[in-house]
Structure 1
Amino acid sequence: MTSSENTGALPPAMNTRLAHGIEMESNGHSSGESGFYLMHEGLSAFVARAVLIEEAAISLDLQYYIYSDDTSGRLLTAKLLEAADRGVRVRLLVDDLGTRLTNPWVTALDSHPNMEIRVFNPVEGRSGLRRGLEQALNFGRINHRMHNKLLVADGLAMITGGRNVADGYFTNAEVEFLDVDVIAIGAIIADASITFDDYWNHSVSLPVSKLISLREETHSLEELRTRLREHLVKEEKSEFRDALRESTLVKELAAGKVPFQWGTATLYADPPAKATDHESVPLSDYPGYQLGQIVKDSQERLQITNAYLIPGRRGTELFAELEERGVQVDILTNGLGTNDTAVAHGAYSRYRKPLLRAGVRLWELRPTAEREHRMHWFSDKSRATLHAKMMVIDSERSFVGSINLDSRSFILNTEIGVLIENAAVNRQLHRLFETWVAPDAAWRLQLDDRGRISWHATDDDNRAIVKHRDPDSNFWQRMLSRMLSRLPIESQI
């Protein structure tokens, strides 16, 4: 489907297995409510995406910052192709910097009459020197990226949260991400479809056929099918295929037996114009600003899990004000040993002491996978890093999305997330937070009498461990972090 015409969301599917199952799930709930099912295990999150793609009968809309050509990406691509073959309209929107397109196979996929791939805010040159020059000359535009993660199936169900499409987000990788997604049904789906259409039809969402020269090497759809079949055979015994075979999610959805939690909800999404003409977008339209207003109203507790914590002066003051009002603020983020961006850790490190002095309880994730008894989705050799972006607000409200607590998410990138008003979801995320900050999973930061930071945890035998410099790091990492912390580039991180 190589058309460049604007298209809109199709009407929700009716008289399908997924439609009947969701109708049963919705019985007894008002039309203004939405149902939510949390997923923090990577394989479950992969299976949920695969199942919604398999069950779709009318339409599939996918929006991702990263969509990788690895095991999980190829498995999901195979299912998207199968969906298109049975008549489902598939629209895939990816970010150009997060997802590097491989010409021969992308053009084959895009040539399917029921599929179209578009690229958000693309760099003109596809590779090499031309691409580098484009990035340098148009940095102001290119620096704004689409960080959203969204899948909408048949106008009936959606998945959003922190995960991109790549092995590390689902497992089967040396570095595995702790993350959270949510399946949603009900009233919020209409808002998700509107949001997707806004991005899909924006002037900087360009069809891939306009970006890749057809004079270059191309493959046919049949060659692509052969490639994907060979991949499926190769991965027959992979943990992804095993998880799909063993999953009961299809039957549970069809029978209306998924334990959805119901309540009112708000979808927060940046307008796509934020990436192209951010000065025309009122600050009040930014999800980061809107979340800040919600956080200000906290009364009892605020638990934050976020991969990149660079609160700035205003954020630090906000947390201090909450503490002064008696709101306990707890934050889990990455430490030097788990942060994949040295410059981000350098900027974050400047705020550790001010936060601790304000009364904020602060933890940093430990990188080892020694807590397999606690988190069984980690393999023996994997290294953990935090990627989740979630909040537990008092006892009723929660947030799950793609928004990091840094200037890049607030000001530069486009983001998405959902505020859920449901006590059970709040409790689930609270329990997950408590698991992730346990002494065998995270370092608790404290200030001693001389104002120095110390890190506290326990070993395999539950014996106390105390460190007086960034754990799980070497001299060169610490020196680089200190050097980067002095750079005046916080607004770009």
Structure 2
Amino acid sequence: MPAKQRPVTVSLEPPSDSPLAEGIRGVAAGKSDELSGFHLLDDGLSAFVARAVLIEEATVSLDLKYYIYEDDNVGHLLTSLLLRAADRGVRVRLLVDDLGTRVVNPWILALDRHPNMQIRVFNPVGGRSGFRRALEQAANFGRINHRMHNKLLLADGLAMITGGRNIADGYFSRSSVEFLDVDVLAVGEALPQARKVFDEYWNHLVSVQVTELLLDEDDTHTLDELRKRTRKLLADEQDSEFARALKQSKMAAALADGDIPFQWGKARLLADPPEKALGKDDIPRDEYPGVQLEKILHGATERLKITAAYFIPGVIGTELFTGLEKQGVKVGILTNSLSSNDVAIVHGAYARYRKRLLAAGVDLWELRTQAGEERRKQWFHGESKATLHAKTFVIDHNLGFVGSINLDGRSLLQNTEIGLLMDNAEINQQLNSLFTEWVAPDSAWSVQLLDSGNLAWRAEDKDGDTLIKHREPETHWWQRTLAWLLGWLPVESQI
């Protein structure tokens, strides 16, 4: 779509007298203004509850930007809470990516008509569906190849959640596919950084007001009807796992009372400039979070533990990790197995680097499809297939990173990303403990290089007996063949 100057809005001044403000002021008492507080959200249910609580506690503003915002149960629930917030006078700004979030629902127009709600779409094409959308995508591939992969929620400019989770059932343990993921709830000095980043994206020329897109407007979709729909949805959900968790949660009271166990330290929000979406070559590479992270990783002296849903190290990354091993840094990496990966070409490209990494002493694990099943059953019935979606870094014993950045060419060069670097030993240890849990033999396959030069995958069954596989576990021959063939395509920067 052609660039068009749109009304500029900026973050509102945080309140000083709300329960949320008073609670954060209490928990930050005695802390330096230069520090931020961190609280990890490492399971789907607590991550949902944290978002719902922040939305319900907000009194001034809510700013959200997400790659994926699905029209499913979780999407409906959070949208209902956003509408209720807008009805009580909270200004809501929602920015979604055009590729990750197909904005075709006419209810969206009803939401955007609300005087306290604004919805914008990042880097869209003109067509909403069908043949026209396909033509627009083909004609504008150079531009739309750059996606907003960010995940960020800001409540009153006082508290934020960022990390790996999009807004969809699978990220919050309500799907046949269970995404293992991590977010961080943060307060303090990181918030001005986050407000600035959000405003830059919101006011950028590629962020288009939803009313400028060609949606099928239906005049019968009014705000009053949407409110009735919201009330019915919330009533129907009263007995769901999410409603029970929200009722039993003490997070709202804990936030108001200053009882959330925040860990405190220096924080640095790493975020791509929105101009990256235009594919400009004049943006200094030092502004890319992936490049900034690479420099930080070079400084590791003892240990480096990485979880990456998509891991394609390339020549540069392979040299980085093997070089760290030579310097005495213990490097461990968890990524998806072929059976838990949802993109065969990604696994095929990653697989080309396994032997070199293993030969240098790097530890590699690949997630098993049943990972996390027991923890999920605490709240949800039925089985699910696990897939890794987390992007975390444990660096030595003091630094931890949680964000949206995968270690592949698309994250580093094409998409816009975000994440929080935290200087705190306890957060570092919590992320390390989570890594250890996820690479346990009942959760992940340990990939090993045999003397013969072949690979083997080692794990344990539910009885603790050793399992050894000599080809990609839990896969069919055609999956392995497809991944191998796709992995040799010269498109690493695009995947």
Q: Per-residue deviation at 1:370?
A: 7.4
Match of 1:68 in 2: 70
SS of the residue 1:265 aligns to: strand
How far, CA to CA, are the matches of 1:122 and 1:417 in structure 2? 24
Distance 1:299 1:395, change over 3 A: same
1:52 aligns with 2:54: yes
Partner of 1:311: 313
What residue number does 1:274 align with?
276
The 10-residue stretch of structure 1 (3-12 or 252-261) with the greater mean CA deviation from structure 2: 3-12
Q: 8 Å contact 1:303–1:393 — kept in the other structure?
A: yes
Aligned equivalent of 2:415? 413
Corresponding position of 1:453? 455
Give the match for residue 488 of structure 1.
Answer: 490
Contact preservation (8 Å) 2:171, 2:181 = yes
1:140 counterpart residue number = 142
1:199 aligns with 2:201: yes
Q: Deviations over 1:289-310 (max 9, x none)?
A: 0000000000000000110000
1:329 aligns with 2:309: no
Correspondence list, 1:18-57, <5 A: 18-57=20-59
Distance 2:305 2:347 in 1: 20
Corresponding position: 1:463 with 2:465: yes
Which of 367, 386, 403 is equivalent to 2:369? 367
SS in 2 for 1:280: coil
The CA distance in 2 between the partners of 1:490 and 1:416, in whole Å, is 21
In structure 1, the residue corresponding to 2:346 is in which secondary structure?
helix
Q: What is the distance in 2 between the residues matched to 1:213 and 1:431?
A: 47
The aligned counterpart of 2:90 is 88
In 2, Cα distance between equivalents of 1:85 and 1:60:
13
Tell me the secondary structure at the aligned position of residue 73 of structure 1.
helix
Distance 1:190 1:30, change over 3 A: same
Give a deviation string over 1:130-151, Cα, whole Å, max 9, x none. Answer: 1000111111101000000000
8 A contact 2:70–2:101 mirrored in 1:
yes
CA distance in 1, matches of 2:44, 2:95: 22
Match of 2:353 in 1: 351
1:365 to partner: Cα distance: 0.4
Question: What SS does the aligned partner of 2:281 have?
Answer: helix
Q: Is 154-163 or 480-489 further displaced after alignment? A: 480-489
**Alpha-carbon distance in 2 for matches of 1:480, 1:216:** 44
Deviation per residue, 1:109-163 (Å, 9 max, x gap)? 0000000000000011011111000111111101000000000110100000000
Structure 1 residues 218 and 298, CA gap change in structure 2 (3 angstroms): farther
User: Is 1:369–1:379's contact at 8 Å kept on the other side of the alignment?
Assistant: no
| 1:111-122 correspondence runs (5 A) | 111-122=113-124
Q: Using the TM superposition, give the Cα deviation of residue 396 of structure 1 relative to its aligned residue in structure 2, in angstroms.
A: 0.3
Shift of 1:240: 1.1
Cα displacement (A) at 1:217? 5.7
Alpha carbons 2:303, 2:395 under 8 Å: kept = yes
8 Å contact from structure 2 (residues 458, 468) kept in 1: yes
1:441 alignment counterpart: 443
1:288 positional shift: 0.1
SS in 1 for 2:118: strand
Q: CA deviation at 1:212?
A: 3.1
Counterpart selection for 1:386 from 365, 385, 388: 388
Pick from 176, 179, 190: which aligns with 2:178?
Answer: 176
Alignment partners' CA distance in 2, 1:225 and 1:128: 30
| Residue 102 of structure 1, CA deviation | 2.8
Aligned to 1:396: 398
Indicate the residue corresponding to 1:219 in structure 2. 221
Q: Would the aligned equivalents of 2:23 and 2:258 in 1 still touch at CA under 8 Å? A: yes
Q: Number of residue pairs matched?
A: 491
What TM-score, normalized to structure 2? Answer: 0.97
Distance 2:74 2:132 in 1: 31
AA aligned to 2:348 is: G
CA contact (8 A) 1:34 1:186 kept: yes
- Displacement after TM superposition at 1:103 (Å): 3.4
1:360-419: CA deviation from partner (whole Å, max 9, x where unpaired): 000000002575169846653111000000000000001000000000000000000011
Task: Tell me how far apart the structure 2 counterparts of residues 217 and 384 of structure 1 sit (CA, whole Å).
Answer: 42
Name the counterpart of 1:473: 475
Instruction: Report the AA paired with residue 111 of structure 2.
Output: L
Q: How far apart, CA to CA, are the structure 2 residues paired with 1:114 and 1:460?
A: 52
CA contact (8 A) 2:154 2:160 kept: yes
**Residue aligned with 1:336, SS:** coil
- Distance in 1 (alpha carbons) for counterparts of 2:71 and 2:247: 22
Alpha-carbon spacing, 1:42–1:481, altered in 2? closer, same or farther (3 Å): same
Shift, 1:358, TM fit: 1.4
Unmatched runs of 5 consecutive residues or more in structure 1: none
**TM-score, normalised with respect to structure 1:** 0.98
Return closer, same or farther for 1:209/1:373 CA change in 2, 3 Å cut-off.
closer
Distance, in Å, in 2 between the alignment partners of 1:373 and 1:190 is 35
In 2, Cα distance between equivalents of 1:112 and 1:323: 56
**Shift in Å, 1:218:** 5.4
Aligned to 1:79: 81
The whole-number CA distance in structure 2 between the counterparts of 1:150 and 1:215 is: 29
Matched, 1:289 2:270: no
Judge conservation of contact 1:45–1:181 (CA < 8 Å) in 2: yes
CA distance in 2, matches of 1:217, 1:488: 49
2:341 pairs with 333, 339, 342, which one?
A: 339
Q: Give the secondary structure class of the aligned counterpart of 1:480.
A: helix
1:390–1:398 Cα contact (<8 Å) kept: yes
Distance 1:258 1:234 in 2: 30
Letter in 2 for 1:231: L
Query: How well do the aligned residues superpose, as a CA RMSD in angstroms?
Result: 1.4
Kindly indicate whether the alpha-carbon contact (under 8 Å) linking 2:364 and 2:447 is maintained by their aligned counterparts in 1: yes
Residues in 2 aligned to 1:260 and 1:218: alpha-carbon distance in whole angstroms: 46
Equivalent positions of 1:6-25 (< 5 A) are 6-25=8-27
Q: Name the SS of the counterpart of 2:276 in structure 1.
A: helix
In the TM superposition, residue 232 of structure 1 has moved relative to its aligned partner by 1.9
1:10 aligns to what SS in structure 2? coil
Q: In the alignment, does 2:154 pair up with 1:152?
A: yes
What is the CA distance between 1:9 and its match in structure 2?
0.5
* TM superposition shift of 1:230: 2.0
Gaps of 5+ in 2: none
Q: Secondary structure at the match of 1:140?
A: helix
- Out of 57-66 and 219-228, give the one that drifted further: 219-228
Q: 1:371–1:441: 8 Å Cα contact kept in structure 2?
A: no
In 2, distance between residues paired with 1:432 and 1:278?
A: 38
**Contact 2:146/2:279 (<8 A) preserved:** no
Q: 1:374 to 1:94 in 2, by over 3 A?
A: closer
Match 1:124 to one of 117, 123, 126 = 126
Letter in 2 for 1:451: G
Matches within 5 A, 1:230-309: 230-309=232-311
Please identify, of 215-224 and 421-430, the stretch whose mean Cα deviation from structure 2 is larger: 215-224
